[in-house]
Structure 1
Amino acid sequence: MPDPNPQALDFLLTRRSRPAKTLTTPVPTREELAPILQAALRAPDHGKLEPWRLIVLEKPALNRLAGLVKDRGAALGIDPDKITKNHDQFAHADLAVAVIEAPVIAEKIPAIEQTYSAGAVCLQLLNAALASGWGANWLSGWASHDRLFIEKGLGLAPHERVAGFIHIGTERAAPPERPRPDIEEKVTWVSQ
């Protein structure tokens, strides 16, 4: 017999990311962030490989990354509007957690499943922050895929990648609800 958790289901049915540009201080303290990070690390992980790690980025680190975005964007000839958008993601943030995919060589676990696990960490982290009462948003952007940016800015090893930046803070204004997928259009039932 199932043991339902209606509050958890209601949270999942009504959860809503908060745009990073609407987040402000205060941000969680290290003590407040610890259970959120712990919840993120309980993501599905086939083979118990832990093919990910987290980097908590506080304001000085975010400012440093914002400057690096400008330098790398100019060097790569990125459109100025895209540079500004990615720059502002870091410059206007007060706290973000970089989820790093750190694949492990494993004969029985395909690399793609490790990528999915890193994505699951991102979602767990996002939902744990929201469930804790904070505003949160999962972002990436062109800089998160630039090898020089992630190696210089985050110290990533050659085999590591950014799965996402989860921005966490105090919500200034709740965003309006947006249309959600129609279950009839997105679900197929197969009986045989």
Structure 2
Amino acid sequence: METIELLQTRRSNKKLVAPAPNKEQLAQIFQAALRAPDHGKLQPYRFVVVEQEGFTRLASLLTAAATELNLEEKHFAKVNKICSAPMIIAVVAKIDKTIAKVPAWEQMLSAGCAAYSVQLAAQDLGFDNVWITGKWVDGAELRQAFGCAENDKVVALILLGTAAERADKEPRAGKLEDFVSYL
């Protein structure tokens, strides 16, 4: 697929089944993510792969976060849906507030770009995905399990796999004039 076609047709898909990327494909995906824009060459992000037995622990961590943060019942119901994906890649922004040259918001954006690169690379390799977060990414046990330091932020849980079904309708494209202006 040509790059422009990939960018113009990428879409989220929550209905995922096996297979997920194998080790070689994951290496390709992470190599793409490491090329995200990065002022100061900080690489202010890292990745946590959840697969197989890791889903039992992730379900427990998400449930604990929902309890800790007093989230609504709907969050508890989503745990099983999230953990039914064949693979999840968590993206953690490693924020260093002591670097004056690269403010924290730029580091966060770089981590976001790395997350999007994961999505694009996976899509190019034939895997569908969806980026979710939710309030539970601030759960203390989840943050500890993901090795988060005080200023780190879990910016994405990217669910990966093969599309269980293809969507019939195309994603809605916005009118360019609603998004683009010239100075």
> Normalising by structure 2, what TM-score?
0.91
Q: CA deviation at 1:81?
A: 1.2
Question: Quick one: distance in 1 between partners of 2:163 and 2:121?
Answer: 15
Please name the residue that 1:187 is paired with: 180
1:187 aligned counterpart, secondary structure: coil
Percent identity at matched positions? Answer: 33
CA distance in 2, matches of 1:43, 1:76: 32
Asked whether the 8 Å contact 2:131–2:157 carries over to 1, the reply is yes
CA distance, structure 2, for counterparts of residue 72 and residue 127 of structure 1: 29
Conservation of the 8 A alpha-carbon contact between 1:62 and 1:90: no
How far the C-alpha of 1:89 sits from its partner, in A, is 4.4
Confirm or deny: 8 A CA contact 1:43 1:121 kept in the other structure: yes
Matched, 1:106 2:99: yes
Indicate whether 1:163 and 2:159 are aligned: no
Deviations 1:10-64 (A, max 9, x none): 2211222222xx1111111111211011101110001101111111111211221
> Partner letter of residue 45 of structure 1?
D
- Name the one with the larger helix percent: 1
> Distance in 2 between the 1:88 and 1:140 partners?
15
Q: CA deviation at 1:70?
A: 2.0
The alignment's C-alpha RMSD in Å is 1.7
Change (3 A) 1:13 1:72: closer
* Cα pair 1:18 1:136 within 8 Å, conserved: yes
Alignment check: 8 A CA contact 1:18 1:137 kept: yes
Q: Identify the match of residue 153 of structure 1 among 135, 138, 145.
A: 145
Matched, 1:18 2:13: yes
Residue 97 (structure 1) aligned with residue 92 (structure 2): no
Structure 1: any 5+ residue segments left out of the alignment? 1-5
Q: Give the Cα–Cα distance (whole angstroms) in 2 for the partners of residues 47 and 152 of structure 1.
A: 27
Q: Which structure: larger Rg?
A: 1
Q: Which runs of 5+ in 2 are unaligned?
A: none
Listed one character per residue, the Cα deviations across residues 131-154 of structure 1 (whole Å, up to 9, x for unaligned) are 1111111111121123x1333332
